[in-house]
Structure 1
Amino acid sequence: MKKKLLMNVWIMLALFTCVGISSCSDNDEDGTKGHQVLRLVDKSGNPIGGISGGDCNLTGSAENLTLRVMSDLDWEITISEGNEWFKADITKGSGSKEISFTVAENEGLEERKATVILSTTQNSSVQDFVLNCIQPGGPRLIVTPENTSVEKEGKDVTIAINTNLPSLKCIIPENVKWITQKSLTNKQLILTVAASDIAKIRTATVEITSESAAYPTTKSIEIRQAGAVDMAELLDVKFNADGTAEDLSAMKMPIKAFAGSTLSMIENETFGYIAKFDPVTINANKITSGFYIVDFTQNLIFQNAIADGFSMELYVTAKDYGESGPIPMGCHGGGGVAITWQDKDNYWTFEPYIGNYSACNTPPLGEVPEETWYHVVGVWDGTGSAGAIKLYLDGEIKAERAPAKGNSFQFPGNKWFVIGGDAGAANEADRAYKGQIAVARIYDRALTAEEVKLLYDTLEE
């Protein structure tokens, strides 16, 4: 019995001894716990590199890099010497903590590296975490702005430059005579844009490029200049390949296409697309396809603008068809206005209703056996004075007169313009036109003789 009891005591002592040894084995020589973590991860907790470190690729620009220390130890961060461009907001701490590194822009052409070492003195068995932060170099060329608009009067344009390239040059296309280089440094480019002498908007692309073959780098700058004639404010029709049309003016009038076999598009280098109208019967009424409608019934701004003076511009073909008067663009009928081709005697008419129909006619043009392009501009200056109504043909004034009575413009019942005819009943057109139309515009002002000439000259060019 005593032997058995003694044996049990020895067994219990042995068990306690094993437990003690086991508990001691979970501690390192310095008394800290084993299997401890010391590493850097991104701010979302995703690993960077392996257990002992890795690489972190930077952008090359100035930036803030946010990382997180994952550890339950006291730690410190050191950054390799000579890397003033890479700084940490915290260099010592304990446990897990977020660190923000400030990275300066690499203004050099070569790559550079900052080595970040995360270490602890609390547990010598824990390996340092080493992160190599690599920032690319190479050529840098930034221009501001990359595109700019200039008024028709012209001016000097300053382009700011941010670069590490040793020398630059400016390339202006040989055919662009209206832009010249005034000065160029590694900080800025100054260009002189001359006053516009054409009606339409013009654009050019200027390049800034490195003169070093080792670092071929180029940036483009688009210069856009307003035409000498301000854009049409009320309507500027652009025809599209699919037969639709849109208004490029600030008014953005809705344009409804009434498609059909008598309406087609002709691709053109200058205008994009030209609308061709080919009705079965020229000058026919109540046609239901082959034209466009610009409805201004609900647009009081448009109506008020027309009421105190306006100009209509067409670039259109005509031919002697022997008909009484087809209309390429009109809003007629007890008021309104239209431009009409009187092809029985071959002359153009501009006819605004001011007190009554106030027709202004060009002289007869003689025979027009072939389809011929004409630039037709009708102007009313909003007054009732002599010469208030003018008609220009191909850049020259051909007729002028006073309104029939007073200076009050009368709208018709149908408040919509038709392109390819005249306003008829809803969804219909009268006085069907045969020919091509490239330009159809309405201005909220009386164009001057100089502006009309510029518009024509631009078309001729």
Structure 2
Amino acid sequence: MKKGFLSFFLFTAFALALCPSCKDDETAEWKNVAFSVASNLAPENGTIPYEGSTVVFTVTTDGKWTYAIDQSKTDWFTHPTVDGMTLAILIPENTVSRERSGVVRFISVSDPTLVEEFTITQEPGPVPPEAPKADLLDVVFHADGTAEDVSPLKNEVLSYPGTALTCYYHDVYKRIVTNYTHTPGQGSRKDSYYRVDYYTNETFKQGLDDGHTLEVVLRSNRNDGTKEYKPFSAHEAGGTGFLICKEGQGGHPACITFLPNVSTTGKSTWRWAQSDVTPEPGRYYHVVGVWDKTAEKAYIYVDGQLKGTADAPGELIHAKDGARWFALGGDSAVGSMGNAWNGEVVLARVFDDALTGDQIALLYQDAAFAGQTPVEFALSNLTYLTRCEIGAGYTYTVYGNGFAAGDKVKFTSSANVTAAFTADAAFTEASGDNTLQSLAVTLPAGIPAGTGRYFMALVRNGSQYPLGTVEFTVCDNPSVSMPRIIAHRGQHQDGVENSTENSIAALTNAQKLGIHGAEFDVWITADDVPVINHNTTVAGSDLRIEESAYAQIRDLTLANGEKLPTLDAYLEQGAKDASMKLICEIKTHSSAASNTRAVNAVVAAVKAKSMETRVDYIAFDYEVCKQLRAAMPAAGVQYLGGDKAPAEVAADKLSGIDYQYSTVLSKKPEWVTEAHAGGIEVNAWTVNSTADMMACIALGVDYITTDNPATLKKLLETPFVTAPK
């Protein structure tokens, strides 16, 4: 028996309860009473099994008594029940894999110095079985679009970014997932996928050879059953992986399939383990493929259930040389990616062993998406600024097709995925010449100031679909600068007829369009006459311009019937519109002497027409740029080569860089910022797709040179960020 003081219990978190026989007030002086407590614990401070039991205490006393339980620490003591001189406590099953203990104290009310204390200890619950860990490959995607293998092998995961690949944070799977918008089954893809080479890793190769398991969580966006398309595979004349087979393959529907190539003869033999589960667009599936070499079987599991079996005796036949790598977003191929995927890949794993059904059930338990409501999204032509300044209350608009009234847009910080907000979107249907729908989102108050990158996801009926990423610079006075348009070799397409590049007609079209400038190319003839043409020869002739007298080529005609224009004729037409710049590219001739002849002839012609402020210059030859800067100090001179950092160009007093977007500026976007910091301008060429135009706008370039100036003009007139009214 342990003695204590009643005051101790009054200052603890213990719950006190009087037994039914002790409800009368105790006013008498303390007196000697008999007091003892026994229990069915053996020993009295004993351990009970993890399954649980009822512990019964019997109090013997000629006075009154009560008990105390620390409910803050022993809330698993349930339903304490007093019946006369007994207290029964129900101990439930211990569902955690650690021991737990609790204390019950009995106190004599007649003499509070009399205390009995019992410690109840319960055995730990059994350790729940864990899902197996992928030991050959376990791909995890990152917010920046890269990926890594977190398996023990740490294989390198190569990323090939592109417009058909986006990633975003998934609220249910609590991880970054990837979405692919390839045409299903498309071949010869050079971008928008991931690659893991395995064949030179002997551990990986042997792990596949002696039986293996593949796991993927996928969502198919669309499927018409006419093409094989693959989320995760290493197939080309052999190998292993998953696909959605074509309708009717082996008498089966277009369904989720595991396809290892296993042969007893050394010749390619496909083993079709087909699930007969046709993927519902918008629904997530947990898929596991097993090749059990010992059992000579291939199995396909979907959402934890065995759905198909195929005989698979023999040895694994790997894909052909050059294709022995796993593709995520398609299938391995020599020099490219094939059988392109359209949908999401949440995770992709490879196990050394042939897993059992129980192990696969555990994998599914970890990856199940309970209660999902599949939504088929059919979005296309997405157009939005990927980088912009913005402020609270400003409206950010996304354009595209496939939106619907009631759609919302969720923004999740790529740096902190717990920082997210979902905004209602004002939906506008396409009308008139505008073929795109729009969703206009008003940014809420409280969005963090500064620059941050956000995943954008369309939210509809509880499902999400990635729109892409945007970099917001949140500030008090945001501004959006738009580039000026330069028609590449004039406007010779994009809504005009009877025109050809570098023609007077193309220049006239550009003037009518009302844009900043028209670019044209200049060669010098052997007798110093500058003419307008892109190539060294005029189409339909073998005569090299710089080696020919003007009289030899003057009657050559362009595709639209015009005679080969001279610089004088071009300047004469250019002078008719004082608002438009002429951007003269002096072509790189066969010698420095010819380059200098061209510079001198062009400068003389421009000065003769008093158009020094109307003509700017570009060239691939850096010395030509320097000569032009010296000869025309008031004109803009930009370098085309793409091999010099902005600081070097600025140091030589040129006015800017004019670099190809696809090969230079898209790879070194920081050069735009560096150029502006150095006080020079940036032109991007030749930017023809809407996606590339939007990317250049987001980069903040000053000019865009394009073959589609009318398209770009319409795009620049579209409101992407608007201030609150």
* TM-score, normalised via structure 2 length: 0.33
In structure 2, the residue corresponding to 1:303 is in which secondary structure? helix
Following superposition, the deviation at residue 452 of structure 1 comes to 0.9
**Is 1:447 aligned to 2:355, yes or no?**
yes
- Aligned 1:26-65 pairs, distance under 5 A: none
Opposite residue 321 of structure 1, the aligned amino acid is N
* 2:243 aligns with one of 337, 340, 357: 340
CA shift in 2, pair 1:259/1:408, >3 Å: closer
* 1:241 aligns with one of 143, 147, 151: 143
Following superposition, the deviation at residue 315 of structure 1 comes to 0.7
Which residue pairs with 2:333 in the alignment? 424
Whether the 8 Å CA contact 2:222–2:343 is kept in 1: the answer is no
**Is 1:272 aligned to 2:190, yes or no?**
no
Opposite residue 179 of structure 2, the aligned amino acid is K
- Structure 1 or 2: larger strand share? 1
Whether the 8 Å CA contact 1:320–1:343 is kept in 2: the answer is no
Whether the 8 Å CA contact 2:187–2:337 is kept in 1: the answer is yes
CA shift in 2, pair 1:360/1:235, >3 Å: same
* 1:286 aligns with one of 185, 188, 198: 188
Distance 2:96 2:346 in 1: 27
Which residue pairs with 2:96 in the alignment? 178
Distance 1:245 1:338 in 2: 19
Which residue pairs with 1:250 in the alignment? 152
CA shift in 2, pair 1:402/1:450, >3 Å: same
- Aligned 1:173-322 pairs, distance under 5 A: 177-183=95-101, 194-197=125-128, 228-269=130-171, 270-279=173-182, 281-322=183-224
CA shift in 2, pair 1:407/1:276, >3 Å: same
Residues 368-426 of structure 1, C-alpha deviation per residue, up to 9 Å, x if partnerless? 5532111111101223x45x2111111111111222x5234444322210000000123
CA shift in 2, pair 1:363/1:459, >3 Å: closer
**Is 1:352 aligned to 2:260, yes or no?**
yes
Distance 1:171 1:328 in 2: 49
Residues 299-335 of structure 1, C-alpha deviation per residue, up to 9 Å, x if partnerless? 1111111111100001101254213110101111121
Residue-pair matches, total: 255
Which residue pairs with 1:151 in the alignment? none
Residues 169-188 of structure 1, C-alpha deviation per residue, up to 9 Å, x if partnerless? 997999x9524443599xxx
Following superposition, the deviation at residue 454 of structure 1 comes to 1.6
**Is 1:331 aligned to 2:331, yes or no?**
no
Bigger relative contact order (CA 8 A; separation at least 6): 1
Which residue pairs with 1:117 in the alignment? none
Residues 248-298 of structure 1, C-alpha deviation per residue, up to 9 Å, x if partnerless? 11111110110112111120233311111112x221111111100001232
* 2:283 aligns with one of 357, 362, 372: 372
Whether the 8 Å CA contact 1:317–1:372 is kept in 2: the answer is yes
CA shift in 2, pair 1:288/1:191, >3 Å: farther
Residues 127-164 of structure 1, C-alpha deviation per residue, up to 9 Å, x if partnerless? xxxxxxxxxxxxxxxxxxxxxxxxxxx9xxxxxxxxxx
CA shift in 2, pair 1:179/1:294, >3 Å: same
Whether the 8 Å CA contact 1:311–1:443 is kept in 2: the answer is yes
- Rg (Cα) greater in structure: 1
- Aligned 1:387-402 pairs, distance under 5 A: 388-402=297-311
* 2:292 aligns with one of 381, 384, 395: 381
CA shift in 2, pair 1:349/1:359, >3 Å: farther
Distance 1:196 1:459 in 2: 20
Whether the 8 Å CA contact 1:172–1:179 is kept in 2: the answer is no
Whether the 8 Å CA contact 2:230–2:330 is kept in 1: the answer is yes
CA shift in 2, pair 1:192/1:169, >3 Å: farther
Distance 2:99 2:180 in 1: 47
Which residue pairs with 2:273 in the alignment? 361
- Aligned 1:123-162 pairs, distance under 5 A: none
In structure 1, the residue corresponding to 2:262 is in which secondary structure? coil
Distance 1:172 1:282 in 2: 58
Distance 2:317 2:130 in 1: 29
- For structure 2, list consecutive stretches of 5 or more residues without a partner in the other structure: 1-49, 51-69, 77-93, 104-120, 248-252, 371-725
Which residue pairs with 2:426 in the alignment? none
CA shift in 2, pair 1:408/1:430, >3 Å: closer
Whether the 8 Å CA contact 2:137–2:154 is kept in 1: the answer is yes
Following superposition, the deviation at residue 365 of structure 1 comes to 3.4
In structure 1, the residue corresponding to 2:205 is in which secondary structure? helix
In structure 2, the residue corresponding to 1:324 is in which secondary structure? coil
CA shift in 2, pair 1:272/1:410, >3 Å: closer
In structure 2, the residue corresponding to 1:458 is in which secondary structure? helix
CA-based RMSD of the aligned residues comes to 3.0
* 1:434 aligns with one of 325, 337, 342: 342
CA shift in 2, pair 1:244/1:194, >3 Å: farther
Following superposition, the deviation at residue 439 of structure 1 comes to 1.6
Following superposition, the deviation at residue 362 of structure 1 comes to 2.9
CA shift in 2, pair 1:248/1:171, >3 Å: farther
Whether the 8 Å CA contact 2:244–2:255 is kept in 1: the answer is yes
Distance 1:379 1:172 in 2: 46
Distance 1:171 1:437 in 2: 44
Opposite residue 396 of structure 1, the aligned amino acid is Q
CA shift in 2, pair 1:191/1:228, >3 Å: farther
CA shift in 2, pair 1:408/1:441, >3 Å: closer
Distance 1:249 1:241 in 2: 19
Distance 2:328 2:139 in 1: 10
* 2:320 aligns with one of 409, 412, 417: 412
In structure 2, the residue corresponding to 1:250 is in which secondary structure? coil
Distance 2:122 2:158 in 1: 43
Opposite residue 289 of structure 1, the aligned amino acid is D
Whether the 8 Å CA contact 2:275–2:302 is kept in 1: the answer is no
